[in-house]
Structure 1
Amino acid sequence: MLTSVADLIPIPALWQQIAIVAVWVLLILLIAWVIKRFATDDPEVVRKIVHIGTGNVIMLAWWLDVPASVGITASIVASAITLLSYRFPILPGINSVGRQSLGTFFYAVSIGILIAWFWHLQQPQYAAIGIMVMAWGDGLAALIGQNFGKHKYKVFGSQKSWEGSLTMTLVSYLVSSLILLSVEGNIWQTWVVSLAIALVATGLEAISLWGVDNLTVPLGSAAIAFTLIQLLSLN
């Protein structure tokens, strides 16, 4: 079983790694701009395209074996830019979602924390689980909930939908299963741990306010995955 595509192909030089990641991020921003310009003015749709697309950077960092120092530095820079964007129009359309939220900032911070944590342990799959659950699970849950969510409920004054929460659970389970399957193989613990991750992620997303779920969901998902795998002695 593989923990890096380095087992299959040579690792590019550091400057090539940075270039690949940078091109990916710029491509996602370009796609978001094109959709905003020609398809929809809905800022939430644009934000979620960026949210989902940029989240896949963690997979590139894992597969390319990008050094932790590069990932952490990129996270710090992105965090600073997102903070500035709340005051200046640096990222128009990404932060303007009609509610008070530091979600984009927390998202960048969570990537840096998870890279610092799991790159050090040489277990990057857990960082990937945390970010991919946040990117795809929360991203699709928001889009489904806002467009098709008919059955509402409130947690701490924040309104959610059962349709959105169910999407969060299913997508989180799928993402976690695929990552663990690639590392641990087709054993029963893979499916049980993935279910636990999905339930924890859904719960954290439901109770988090002001965009803090972009921090609690990835950190919580990664932590529960790592803890359960250690307890079940999968490695």
Structure 2
Amino acid sequence: MAQVVLVGAWLGVVGVISESLYLTKSVSVEITRKIVHIGAGNVILLAWWLHTPAWMGIAASLLFSLVALLSYWLPILPGINSVGRTSLGTFFYAVSIGLLTATFWEGSPEFTMLGILTMTWGDGMAAIIGQSLGRHRYTVWDMTKSWEGTSTMLLVSFGVSLGVLSIVHGLTPTIAAIALLTALTATFLESFARWGLDNLTVPLGSAFLAYGLWQWWG
């Protein structure tokens, strides 16, 4: 019960911050989304510390997936989604957490954390840095990206992957190589994703690649 209360309290704080930023207009709506993106994703660290069972994460994923879908038609999460928004990023975000929890949490939770935190911090910081400091632009399909944002995605993804794997398996050249390959893949997936699909492809691609490489090399 305490696990549910603490996780719920954390998400509640993130929600309050989101709506406060949205109502005061102190930052842009997109920056607000990314702040929530980062804050909500960090709940996985709390869940790991509390040894939260997998069923709880899967149930939360299903609930928030439903809420995210409804928010595209109803003003449930105005600080995160606007009604009629074409991107399904929030929905994919919730789905990816459930899939990674169901796949890895019981036996190899580090890969659940790696995937989610790569999405949380890598994609989140790439958007924030790209929008605030991005000066060198490039276009992929109809999307405008910045080299500053893409570089941030690569560096943060590498740092997250290296940190998570090193905590569990120790810092070795093999772990560093796995982290680098994972970061390069995550950056590629983030750069080419459309309609918010990066919130699905980045965490799943990162986690499954890192797991496969670890099984092969480790």
Mapped pair 1:220 → 2:205: yes
Letter in 1 for 2:35: I
Aligned residues: 218
1:175-227 Cα offsets, whole Å, 9 max, x none, are 11111110111211111111111100000000100000000000000011101
Deviates more, 1:34-43 or 1:183-192: 34-43
SS in 1 for 2:139: strand
Q: State the match for 2:164 in structure 1.
A: 179
Q: What are the residue-to-residue correspondences of 1:142-181 with 2, within 5 Å?
A: 142-181=127-166
Q: State the match for 1:119 in structure 2.
A: 105
Displacement of 1:67 in angstroms is 1.0
Deviates more, 1:162-171 or 1:40-49: 40-49
Mapped pair 1:100 → 2:86: yes
Q: What are the residue-to-residue correspondences of 1:25-64 with 2, within 5 Å?
A: 25-38=11-24, 40-64=26-50
Letter in 2 for 1:21: V
Mapped pair 1:88 → 2:74: yes
Aligned-residue CA RMSD (Å) = 1.5
Query: TM (normalized to structure 1)?
Result: 0.89
Mapped pair 1:207 → 2:192: yes
SS in 2 for 1:154: strand
Deviates more, 1:67-76 or 1:29-38: 29-38
SS in 1 for 2:105: helix
Contact 1:165 1:202 in 2 (8 A): yes
Q: State the match for 2:117 in structure 1.
A: 132
Letter in 2 for 1:104: T
Letter in 2 for 1:131: I
In structure 1, the gaps of 5 or more residues are 1-14
Percent identity among equivalent residues?
Answer: 52
- State the alpha-carbon separation in 2 of the partners of residues 176 and 230 from structure 1: 16
Displacement of 1:98 in angstroms is 9.6
Q: State the match for 2:54 in structure 1.
A: 68
SS in 2 for 1:96: coil
Contact 2:72 2:85 in 1 (8 A): no
Displacement of 1:22 in angstroms is 0.2
Query: TM (normalized to structure 2)?
Result: 0.96
Letter in 1 for 2:182: I
- State the alpha-carbon separation in 1 of the partners of residues 144 and 200 from structure 2: 19
